[in-house]
Structure 1
Amino acid sequence: MSRKELHMSPSEQEPEQTDETQPLDRPVNRYWRAAYLFCGAVSIAGLFTRLTVTDRWLFLSTIYYATPLALLCVGCLCSAICTWALKWRRQSLVWAVLSVAMFFAWSTTCFSDKSQPTVESDISVMFWNVARKKDMVPAANLINQVDADVVALVESGWANAERRQFWEEHCPNYDISLLGGGLLVMTKGTSGTCVAEELAKNSIYRRIDCQVNGHELTCVVVDLKSDPYYSRRPVLGKLANELAPFRDKNLVVMGDFNTPVESVHFGPMRQFLREAFEVSGKGYAPTWPHPAPVLWLDQIWVGPTIQPIQCHRLTPVNSDHRPVLAMLRIADEVEE
């Protein structure tokens, strides 16, 4: 030690650098803090909206739709990792507990095994958003492979003679009904006249009666706007009001609602309809986006005269939406 250093006070002497105060660690800590700021803020916002107002208020509904349980679980886990790296042990423990809670909520909500044995007279119904693909041959092949009694598609292309010819050639076992707006219904029976309705701009539905396996079904195909910045309340409320008069018929409502099934705005529909997967689902519920779906957007709802027996998702081809397949039983055939 030099003579100058001997005369320096302890406060004037340069402290020795330890592993925790290495200059090289400081930029790394900034990255951890930035990651924590993002993950923590998103997770807190998502948890707050989910536990309080859900999607009741328009300005918070976007946060609710953008933070499904699967992403909240990941966000809480990332926050736990970031705070652990920053040596903030108590915060890390809190985030770890929240991550476990979100994982439990996700697993209990999104996975189901409620299916029942089927009988020969059950009616199979398939719904699928085929995502406006130009090449529909893979979609037609999957439809023929599934061989459902009723098939409803959205985003299937223009309703013209060329499109009709394509489906008649590739799915010869079905009666084809082009409903307009990219909506289509195929039945292994006969179908009646289509009634076209508009709920709002870019939000439509079609209603058509079908004769299948000796039963008349009132099939409703829905395609709602995907914009997250509009309220679903008036659209779903109007849909419920217009379908309520058909509650005593064999009503099947299927579509891409672009709204998670747990939304409070499905309340009016729940007064007389049941979602098939909630009643008889098997497997993982979310349908979009494939191959890692986190949102339950594609749904099949049925009226009081129909009992869902089975409902599960299929692996799509050329689409980011998973097809939905349900086995339905008419009320007069349900065993007491």
Structure 2
Amino acid sequence: MAQIPSSARRTTRRFQQVDTVETGQGGDGRRDTGPGTRRADIRRAIRRAIRVGSRLGPWKRGLVLAALALLLGLVMLLHAKIPNRVGNLGSLAETILPWFGLCIPVLLAGALWRRSASAVVALLLPVLVWLNLFGELLSDKSNPGSDLTVASHNVGADNPDPTGTAHALAASGADVLALEEITPQAKVLYEKELANAYPYHTVQGTVGLWSRLPLSDTQPVDIEMDYGPLADTKPVAVRMAYTRALRTTVATDQGPLAVYVAHLGSARVNPRAGFWTVSRDRGAHALGKAIAAERNERVVLLGDLNGTMDDRAFADITSQLRSAQEAAGKGFGFSWPAKFPVVRIDQILVRGVQPKSSWSLPATGSDHLPVAAGISW
């Protein structure tokens, strides 16, 4: 038999190796399906999808992003229509409503990456809606020359340094100071530490008011507290003190000023109850009725209301009073939690007086930031 020259055998082997690499088959004719090959297949599929997508026009690319942008805008625009029947979803959405704006730059980045004209145009809706809702809060609306400075602070039942908190509040310069979540043990301490700066004060249950000006007509306000499934989350001293709101009259040089101090029920995201606000909402309604019955035209409400004023639950209050932060502050004025505030649940609301400025005070031992405002007649 004739022998094949060695040079020809080498050439034949090279062709066989090339054929094996190109076809992905081993010497036994089977296709290689190892992890490396599967990853290569996935990469090729992604490249093909990108090539197909890039062949679409800029108005046909990114339609999913465009739909998400329109949905975001509609959610913010129609937030009042989101029902509360399931887990109090409407109130939850309104509580975090400003933070929906963070979705806009995320969608914009996706639209630019996809070079989608339709998604960029669709983003105009959420941008305009967000600016309409919150654009005014970005500017500084404060003015000098207030006649009276008021402040409010949830001092915290678990505050490890109530003495330091009292000293910081006394040094704030506030003429009228409201405190919430006062325990019986801390009550004596606050009365002692604030006595020099504030000769007049009243404490009703867990809320109190300290003033440089005389007080009169002080009485508790029934806001119908009920902790429900959260009853075990609060200290006994706080749970046992039923009175969490008061009304008093401050004698000013310009006439009497009705001042309300309130600490409404908690709002919590609970696995069983969803966004649980039953007690808070009941208290907000009762407080709104008390303010509606107030005969004094000049009213200030100070307190931890455990909710933002965008929440529909406070309609009975916001229909009568306006927020000092929105009228004369800068930014959102977030007050809770103190270490990294994300919502403003500590409020100063007014009627019959002019807010001149509004701001947050430095953190104390509480998990809330104190808030203050200057008002004028």
Task: Please give the TM-score of this superposition, normalised by the length of structure 2.
Answer: 0.66
User: 1:53 aligns to what SS in structure 2?
Assistant: helix
* Structure 2 residue aligned with 1:252: 300
More deviation in 203-212 or 315-324? 203-212
User: In terms of Rg, which structure is larger?
Assistant: 2
Tell me the alpha carbon deviations over residues 18-48 of structure 1, each in whole angstroms, 9 at most, x when there is no partner: 768359x9xxxxxxxxxxxxxx99x979973
Tell whether the 8 Å contact from 1:277 to 1:285 is kept in structure 2 after alignment: yes
> 1:111–1:282: 8 Å Cα contact kept in structure 2?
yes
Alignment-derived partner of residue 210 in structure 1 = 250
**CA 1:214 to 1:48, structure 2 compared with 1: closer, same or farther past 3 Å?**
closer
C-alpha deviation, 1:206, in angstroms: 1.0
Residue pair 2:24, 2:32 contacting (<8 A) in 1 also: no
Deviation by residue 1:100-156 (Cα, 9 ceiling, x = unmatched): 66875686254342222305xx01101111222132122112112212110001123
Q: Which amino acid is 2:304 matched to?
A: D
Measured after TM superposition, the shift of residue 234 of structure 1 is 4.1
Which structure 1 residue ranges, 5 or more long, are not aligned?
Answer: 26-39, 331-336
Aligned to 1:74: 102
Mapped pair 1:324 → 2:349: no
**Cα distance change of structure 1 residues 214 and 196 upon mapping to structure 2, 3 Å threshold:** same
Q: Which residue of 1 is the match for residue 219 of structure 2?
A: 195
The whole-number CA distance in structure 1 between the counterparts of 2:318 and 2:21 is 83
Instruction: Please tell me whether the aligned partners of residues 5 and 13 of structure 1 are also in contact (alpha carbons under 8 angstroms).
Output: no
* Sequence identity (%): 22
SS of 2:167's partner is: helix
The equivalent residue for 1:21 is 42
1:150–1:185 CA contact under 8 A, matched in 2: yes
Structure-2 residue corresponding to 1:51: 78
The corresponding residue for 2:93 is: 64
What is the CA-CA distance between 1:282 and the residue it aligns to? 3.0
- d(CA) in 1 for partners of 2:283 and 2:256? 27
Write the letter of the residue equivalent to 2:153: W
Query: Structure 1 residue 324: deviation in Å?
Result: 1.5
Aligned counterpart for 2:197 among listed residues 163, 167, 173: 173
Conservation of the 8 A alpha-carbon contact between 1:179 and 1:194: no
Distance 2:77 2:281 in 1: 17
Normalising to structure 1: TM-score of the pair? 0.72
Contact 1:251 1:302 in 2 (8 A): yes
Distance 2:81 2:365 in 1: 33
Q: For the residues of structure 1 that align with 2:219 and 2:362, how far apart are their CA atoms?
A: 31
CA 91–188 in structure 1, closer or farther in 2 if over 3 Å, else same: same
Please name the residue that 1:312 is paired with.
Answer: 359
Of 164, 179, 187, 1:153 maps to: 179
- Counterpart residue type for residue 157 of structure 1: T
Relative distance call for 1:157 and 1:212 in structure 2 (3 A) is farther
- Post-superposition offset of 1:163: 2.8
Let me know the Cα RMSD of the aligned residues: 4.2
Q: 1:296 maps to what in 2?
A: 344
1:137 counterpart residue number: 163
Partner residue of 1:126?
Answer: 151
CA distance in 2, matches of 1:278, 1:317: 24
Q: Which stretch shifts more, 241-250 or 307-316? A: 241-250
CA separation of 1:55/1:18 partners in 2, compared to 1, >3 Å: closer, same or farther? closer
Contact kept, 8 Å, 1:49 with 1:63, in 2: the verdict is no
Q: What is the count of residue pairs matched by the alignment?
A: 305
Task: Work out whether residues 80 and 91 of structure 1, in 8 Å CA contact, stay in contact via their aligned partners in 2.
Answer: no
Q: Counterpart amino acid of 2:42?
A: T
Residue type of the alignment partner of 1:206: L
Q: Distance in 2 between matches of 1:219 and 1:67?
A: 29
- C-alpha change, 1:93 and 1:292, in structure 2 (3 Å) is farther
Closer/same/farther in 2, CA of residues 140 and 50 from structure 1, 3 Å limit:
farther
User: In 1, Cα distance between the equivalents of 2:346 and 2:169?
Assistant: 17
Unaligned runs of 5+ in 2: 1-14, 47-66, 228-243, 268-274
Q: 1:92 and 1:5, CA in 2 relative to 1: closer, same or farther beyond 3 A?
A: farther
2:188 alignment counterpart: 164
Asked if the contact 1:197–1:205 (Cα under 8 Å) also holds between the matched residues in 2, the reply is: yes
Point out the more displaced range, 110-119 or 92-101.
92-101
| 8 A contact 2:323–2:348 mirrored in 1 | yes
